[in-house]
A and B are shown apart, each in its own frame.
Chain A
Amino acid sequence: MASPAPKSPEQSERNRKYDRQLRLWGDHGQAALEGAHVCIINATALGTEILKSLVLPGIGAFTIVDGKKVTSEDIGANFFLETDSVGKSRAQIATQMLLELNSDVRGDYIDEEPDQILYNSPDFFNNFTVVVATCLVEKSLVLLSQRLWELNIPLIVCRTIGFIAYMRIQVKEHMVVETHPDNEVPDLRLDKPFETLKKHVDSVNLDELSFKDHSHVPYLIVLYKFLEKWILSKRELPKSYNEKSQLKQMIREGIRRDENDTSNSEENFEEAVKAVNTCIGRTEIPENVMNILNNDQCINLTAKSSSFWIIAKAVRDFVENEGGGLLPLKGTLPDMTADTEKYITLQQIYHKQAIADAEAVWRRTLQLLRQLGKSSDSIPERDVKLFCRHALNIYVAKGTCIADEYDSKIFDASNIVQCLENPESMMVYYVILRGIEKFQTEYNSYPGEFDDQVEPDIVKLKVCITKLLNEWGCGPLVKDDYVHEFCRFGGAELHSVSAFLGGLAAQEVIKFVTNQYKPVHNTFIYDAVTSNSGTFFF
C-alpha cells in the first residue's frame, strides 16, 4: 500500500445517540441546544409534551414552575405523572419523570404559582434562554409578557382547548443565519462573472472540443457560453418565457450528434436547457437581505451591537467595496454531468472565490471590532464564514409584545375585522379564545367546565366576546355554533391535541436556541377536526 489509509474517527456515544438530529442542525446546533436553559410554566399535558421533545434531543437544562398538586384529571391526559402521584407537587413529579428520558439533561422545579414568582422575585426569569407558558390566566400572562419583553427573552405561549390549539410567540428581535430553505437558488453569477470564472470559461472553446469532451463539459459552462452569445446580440438577459424558450432552442441546436447512434444526446446540454429556468436570473441582493443591510441597527453600530449586526455591517461594507454591489459568493455548485476533472476545476474556482470574499468580510469585521473598542476574538472567524455562506438567506424578525394585545388603547383590531369577513378564516378561534380568557377572569372557570352549566355558559361566553369586540370597535360575532363548540369542550385538554402542539412548540424552542430555521411569525392556530392551520401576525 502506498500510503496508510487515514484512521477512522472514533464515533463518540453522544454522536451516535444524537446521529439522526445532528444531520439536521449540525454539531454547532447541538452545542447551542446543550447550552440552553428553558423554563416551562405549568406541567400540564401540553407542558410536559413540549419538554419531552426538548429533553430527548438533549437540551442543556429545564426548570418547571408549577404550584399545583396532581389531580386524577391530570393523570388522564399527562404521560409524565403516575396514578400514585395524586396530591403531590405536579412540578416535582413531572421533573422526575422527564429526567428519566435523558441522563445528559439537568432539570429542577419550583413548587410555586407563577404569579407569586412574578410578584416576589421578578429577577427569577433573567437567565433563561426561552420561557414557555401553558395554561396561564390573562393577568399573569400580561405580567410575564412585559417582564420578558424587557429582558429580551423569547416567550412562547401555548394553549389547547378541545380540538383547538393556539401558540403565540413573543420575541423583540430574532436573527437567523441558517434558515435552511427548501428550494435554494444556486449562486452562480453567470450574468456577472467574477474574474477567475470569466478567465476559466474563456479558456474553453466548445467548438474545438472532441466529441467526448464536448459531452463532458459542465452545463454551467454551456449555459455561460450561450448566455454570452445572447447578451452580445440582445444586450440584456432573457426575461420573458418566449426569450427563455429561444435561448433553450439555441442550446439545443448546439448539441452534437453521434453519427453512429442517433438516439444519443448530450446529457450536459439537456441539463443546460433545464437550468435556463432556474439559473438565469439577474444576480442581485434579495430585497429582504437589502432591508437587513439597510436597517438602522446595521448602519449605526454601537458597543452593544450583537455579532449578527456587526457581521451584517461588515457584509454591507464588502458590498459597497470589494463586492461591487454583490454579496459574498456562496461558493457551492450543484452536481452536473461532467467528467471529474472539469467539474472539480470549476468547483474549486467557486470555492476559492468564496474563501476570498469571506476573508475580505472577516478583515472588515476585525476593523469594525477595533472601531467599537471590542477585542478581536469577540467574534470567531467561523461565524463570519457561516454568515457569508448563507448571506443570501439571512432573516430578521421583529416581533410584538403580547401585553399590547390586551391593551385596547394600543391594539389594532383591523386585521381581525378583515379576517372575520372570510367565513373560512381561523381568526374566529383567536377571538373565542380571547373571550374564554375574559370568561375565566370573570367566573374563575372554563365555559362549559361543569356539566350542568353548558347552556348558560354559552350565553355568558357570548357576552364576554361581544364586550371584547366592542372594546376593539368591532361588530358582534355571528358564529354561535363555534361558541357552542367551545362550551362543549368545557376547557378539556385532549392528550393528542396537546401532543401535536407540544411537538410544534418544542421545535419553535429549538429554532430560537439554535438560531436556525424561521420561527412562527407570530401566532399559530390549529383545528384538529379538519387538520387546517393558520398563521397570523399581531
Chain B
Amino acid sequence: MMGSDHMHRRWSNLRKVLERSGPFCRPDFEPSTETLQFLLDNCKILVIGAGGLGCELLKDLGLMGFRQIHVIDMDTIELSNLNRQFLFRHKDIGSSKAEVAAKFINSRIPGCNVISHCCKIQDKAEDFYRQFHIVICGLDSIIARRWINGMLLSLLVYEDGELDRSSVIPMIDGGTEGFKGNVRVILPGLTACIECTLDLYPPQVTYPLCTIANTPRLPEHCIEYVKVIQWPKENPFECAIDGDDPQHINWIYEKSIERAAQFGIQGLTYRLVQGVVKNIIPAVASTNAVIAAACATEAFKLASSCSASLNNYMVLNDVDGIYTYTYEAEKKEDCVACSQVPKEIEINNPKFKLNDLIEFLCEKPDLQMKNPGLTAYINGKNKTLYMQTVASIEERTRENLTKTLVELGLRNGSEINVADITTPSTIVLKLKFVYCNSDM
C-alpha cells in the first residue's frame, strides 16, 4: 500500500508539469524526473511566521512536493488565532506556533520534514539563513520583513562588482489585511527589494497629542488619551499595558467610556478599545489562503523552473468582485539596502543638529527607521554619536543630540554608519553639505 507505486501516483499531478515540457516553460527548464526528486530531497525552504499565512504556507508547500522545510516563529497560540490558523486546536492554546504547526504537517503529510524554531528571526545568524534555497515570509510586521530583506542582501557575494548569482536567495513575501493582500517575488540584488519600495507601506495612523489631550472628537481619541496619558499617570497595575490582559483592557475601556461621556462622543465599544490598544488588523481565513497559495506557487515555479515567475508584485482585493493587479516594482538606484552605493543625505542648514538627523531618518518615507544608533569615523577615531538602545551609552551620548553636525566634527562627505532594528547590517550614509559657507 505504501510502496513506491503509491508514491509514484501520489505525486502524479506534480509530475505532469515537471516531467513534460510545454510552450510556456522557462528556457532553462528540462523536463525530467530529477526535478521532483530535488524538491522532495534537497530543496530547503524557510517559512517565516507560523500564523495565518504560515499555516497555509506549510500545507501548500508540503503538497507541492517540498519536504525540507524550516519554520520560525516566536509566538504562542491564542484563541483569536483559531478562526484562520487551521493547524491549531483549542487544546494548543499557549503552545509554540512553530512547534505545533510543524508537528501537524509532519503527521498529516508522510515524508514531510518540517523543523521548527521557536525564536526571533534576529536570534539566527548568517549561517542559518545561508542554507536555504528560498525564503518565504508570512509576517504582519514590517520591521521583521525589512530585517530579513537586509539579511538576504548581506549574504550576497560580489566579485569585482559583479554579483555572484549563486549567492542570491529568492525571497517571496505575502501580506494580508482583511480582504486585501499582496504577493511579491524578490531576487535580492537583482530586483526591487523591500527597502526599494518602502513608501508602499503607509505610516501608522497616529493622532496628534494636542487633539487627544484637548479637542477629542472620535472614540479613538479617547482611547489614545487613556493609553498614552492616563495609564502612565495612574499606573493602575504597576506595569506597562498588556493588550492580552483582559483586566488592562477593561480598565482602559472604562476610563475611555468616562472620557467619551464627558465630551459627548459616541460609538465607543469594547471591540474598538481592543482594536486600538492592540493595533488589531482584521483577518479572515480566505484571504490568507489565497495569498499563501500564490506564494507557494511562486516557490514551486522558482524551485523547478517549470514556469516563469511573477514579475514581481501582485495585489488582490475581493471586496468588489475579485480584482488583481500585477506590476513590476522598480529597483531603486540609490536604495540604502541593495544599491551598493552609500546613500547621500543633503544637509542644507548649518544649524542642523544630530537630533534633526535622527528625526529625519525616522520620518523619511524611504528610510522609516525606528531607533537608529549612529557612529562615525572622526579624526581617525570611531566615535559613537548616539545610541538609544543601550542605556549606559544613551546616557553618555545624549548631550550630542543638541549639537550641530559640524560641532560633532562631521564634514561634507563624512560617512555615518547607522544601525537600526529594521536591518541586520550597518547602513552607510554620506553627508552632503549643500549650503554655501567658506568656513566649513
Contacts and interface: CB of A to CB of B under 8 A. Distances in A.
Does B bind A? yes
Contacts of B11: 76
B16 A489 contact: yes
A496 B263 contact: no
B297 interface: yes
Interface string A138-161: 000000000000000000000000
Contact of B324 (A162, A503, A532): A532
A22 B178 CA distance: 11
B283 A496 contact: no
A214 interface: no
Interface in A491-538: 492-500, 502-504, 506-507, 510, 517-521, 524, 526, 528-533, 535
B14 A492 contact: yes
Contacts of A533: 322, 324
A182 B281 CA distance: 16
Interface residues of B, number: 87
B83 to A, nearest CB: 5
Given A21-B284, A79-B63, A101-B86, A481 B320 contact: no
Contact of A494 (B64, B84, B211): B64
Given A19-B80, A340-B216, A496-B296, A181 B1 contact: no
Given A23-B280, A76-B10, A494-B17, A485 B24 contact: yes
A101 B55 CA distance: 13
A529 B185 CA distance: 13
Given A56-B84, A499-B296, A504-B318, A532 B16 contact: no
Given A11-B246, A484-B23, A493 B308 contact: no
A209 B375 CA distance: 52
Interface string B50-90: 00000010011001100000000000000110111010011
A126 interface: no
A387 to B, nearest CB: 19
A90 to B, nearest CB: 15
Nearest to B220: A335
Given A17-B80, A532-B324, A76 B9 contact: yes
A196 interface: no
Contact of B270 (A11, A347, A451): A11
A102 B285 CA distance: 13
A22 B271 contact: yes
Nearest to A13: B79
Given A72-B6, A529-B308, A503 B289 contact: yes
A57 interface: yes
Interface in B5-42: 5-6, 9-14, 16-17, 20-24
B217 A338 contact: yes
Nearest to A80: B108
B393 to A, nearest CB: 36
Interface stretch (B122-130, B247-255, B383-391): B247-255
Contacts of B14: 76, 492, 494
Contacts, number: 258
The size bracket of the interface on A is 35 or more
Interface in A71-88: 71-73, 75-79, 82-83, 86
A473 to B, nearest CB: 28
A8 B253 contact: yes
A423 interface: no
B336 interface: no
Contacts of A495: 13, 60, 63-64, 296
A489 B25 CA distance: 12
A21 B83 contact: yes
B321 A535 contact: yes
B305 interface: no
A5 B257 contact: yes
A494 B39 CA distance: 15
A180 interface: yes
* Max chain A Cβ within 10 angstroms of own Cβ: one of B83, B293, B294: B293
A400 B294 CA distance: 30
B57 to A, nearest CB: 10
A76 B217 contact: no
Contacts of B22: 484-485, 488
B16 A529 contact: no
Nearest to B314: A531
Given A162-B16, A494-B64, A520-B321, A21 B10 contact: no
Contacts of B284: 20-21, 24, 57, 507
A335 B286 contact: no
A79 B105 CA distance: 9
Contacts of A182: 317, 319-320
B410 to A, nearest CB: 28
Nearest to A485: B22
A179 B90 CA distance: 33
A248 B321 CA distance: 37
Interface in B256-292: 257-258, 263-265, 270-271, 274-275, 280-290, 292
A531 B310 contact: yes
Interface string B293-323: 1101100110000011010001001111110
Contacts of A56: 82-84, 86, 285
B218 interface: yes
A83 B2 contact: yes
A506 B294 contact: no
B326 A503 contact: no
B202 interface: no
A483 to B, nearest CB: 9
Nearest to A333: B217
B377 interface: no
Nearest to A519: B321
B183 interface: yes
Given A57-B284, A497-B293, A499-B289, A507 B179 contact: yes
B110 interface: yes
A211 interface: no
Contact of A52 (B82, B183, B250, B285): B285
Contacts of A343: 215, 217
A336 B211 CA distance: 11
B287 A503 contact: yes
B286 A510 contact: yes
15 contacts: A17-B80, A19-B83, A21-B282, A23-B275, A56-B86, A76-B12, A77-B13, A180-B319, A181-B320, A182-B320, A485-B23, A488-B20, A489-B17, A492-B14, A507-B284
Rank and list the top 9 A-B pairs by shortest CB-CB distance, nearest first: A503-B289, A503-B290, A481-B23, A499-B293, A500-B293, A495-B63, A5-B254, A488-B22, A76-B10
Given A56-B83, A57-B83, A57-B84, 18 more contacts: A6-B254, A17-B83, A20-B280, A24-B179, A49-B289, A56-B285, A72-B6, A76-B9, A83-B6, A216-B215, A338-B217, A490-B20, A496-B63, A499-B59, A503-B289, A519-B321, A528-B294, A531-B183
